Amino acid sequence: MRSLTLSAILATFLWSAPIGGVAVLVKNTPITLYEVQQEMTLTGADAKQSADNLIRKKLEQLEANEKKITVASSEITDEMNRMAAQNNLSLDKFINAMQSTRGLSEKELREKIEENIRGQKLYSAIAFSKMGQPTPEEENEFYQLHLDDFTRAESFNVTIYTAQSKEDLMAKISDPMRNISNIQMKEETIPYAAINPQLAQLLNKIPDGNFSPILPHEKNGYMSFYMRDKNNQVTEPLETVRPQIANAILGEKRNQVLNDYFTRLRLNADIKILRLP
């Protein structure tokens, strides 16, 4: 009896695989159709772009393994605690907020944070020299190109809708004229300086006449801000936001180095796209 070759066995396995099956092989490591579909749902990208995203992630994982780069569970938890504290939230409330505003489950949030930490470690292992701090000229140029990002209102005139049921609140947002007895409303003027930076940033981005995403509220309830209007738009002076600008520029440079590295890596990697959703 003629023996089957390894490639024939592999092909038979791939095409007879159960629900999901294998969509892509990256160095003989599979990416399933189910993973591509999840990425499409999460990002809103089409099948090809979602597959490209997952190929990049897989290459990062394989490269991290080759360089013996690991991310401990405690590192992820520490970063989550840091992000929660930065937003003046308990860890549980921070997780709920990410679920409400970004649609990320705790598992998905931990995976995102793990990717970020691994990317930082990969950059340190890949970069040939230490990145220098941005020059004042670079900071000035970034500031001028992103003036809208540094423009904010001094206060926000909002109507705050709260409810114990997320479904009731979603129904109210969908049809503001509808009377729903379980929803409380309160009009407030919120000073920018009186709230944490993340909430202030969120409110600042809501167009007048629109609702915020649904957010967690005290006692396991939910809330949404309806933006009536904003008061006195001001632009932060350059000197105030220089540290923020420097971090943004360094982040862009780091991402460019990683993108260039993995673009070259992908050109030489054994990647087979078998089928897409």
Q: What is the pLDDT of residues 183-220, one digit of tens each?
A: 999 999 999 988 877 788 889 999 999 999 888 776 67
Of 4-13, 128-137, 141-150, the range with the highest mean pLDDT is 141-150
157 and 202 share one domain: yes
The pLDDT, as a whole number, for residue 81 is 92
Q: Which helix (H) or strand (E) holds 191?
A: strand 184-191
229 and 252 share one domain: no
156 and 115 share one domain: no
Residue with token string 């920018």: 192
187 and 254 share one domain: no
Range of 37's domain?
A: 6-60+268-273
The pLDDT, as a whole number, for residue 84 is 87
The pLDDT, as a whole number, for residue 18 is 40
The pLDDT, as a whole number, for residue 130 is 65
98 and 167 share one domain: no
Q: Mean pLDDT, to the nearest integer, of 168-186? A: 90
215 and 152 share one domain: yes
118 within some domain = yes
pLDDT greater than 80 at residue 8: no
Contact 265, 158 (CB under 8 A): no
The pLDDT, as a whole number, for residue 101 is 65
139 within some domain = no
- Grouping H, G, I as helix, E, B as strand and the rest as coil, residue 98 is helix
Residue with token string 């409380």: 184
Instruction: Give the residue from 120, 125, 194 showing the smallest Cα distance to 155.
Output: 194
34 within some domain = yes
166 and 225 share one domain: yes
Contact 57, 24 (CB under 8 A): no
Q: Mean pLDDT, to the nearest integer, of 108-117? A: 89
Give just the sign of the alpha carbon dihedral 132, 136, 139, 141. Answer: negative
Distance between CA atoms of 35 and 55, rounded to whole angstroms?
A: 11
Contact 95, 83 (CB under 8 A): no
89 and 156 share one domain: no
209 within some domain = yes
Cβ neighbours of 197 (radius 10 Å)? 11
Q: What average pLDDT does the chain have?
A: 85
151 and 231 share one domain: yes
Give just the sign of the alpha carbon dihedral 271, 122, 250, 213. Answer: positive
Distance between CA atoms of 127 and 154, rounded to whole angstroms?
A: 41
The pLDDT, as a whole number, for residue 100 is 66
Distance between CA atoms of 154 and 95, rounded to whole angstroms?
A: 28
216 and 160 share one domain: yes
Task: List, in sequence order, every residue forming a beta bridge with 151; answer none if it has no partner.
Answer: 235
124 within some domain = yes
Q: Where are the alpha helices (DSSP H) in the chain?
A: 6-15, 33-43, 47-66, 73-86, 91-102, 106-126, 136-145, 166-174, 197-205, 238-268
Q: Mean pLDDT, to the nearest integer, of 136-146? A: 95
Which pTM does this prediction carry? 0.62
Residue with token string 């938890």: 77
128 within some domain = yes
CATH number of the domain to which 167 belongs: 3.10.50.40
The pLDDT, as a whole number, for residue 238 is 94
184 and 48 share one domain: no
The pLDDT, as a whole number, for residue 139 is 96
Give me 171's structure tokens.
């129904």
pLDDT greater than 60 at residue 45: yes
Burial class (CB in 10 A: 0-12, 13-18, 19+), 45: middle
68 within some domain = no
The pLDDT, as a whole number, for residue 181 is 85
65 within some domain = no
Domain count, the chain: 3
114 and 159 share one domain: no
pLDDT greater than 70 at residue 171: yes
Cβ neighbours of 8 (radius 10 Å)? 10
Q: Give the pLDDT band (50/70/90) at residue 9.
A: very low
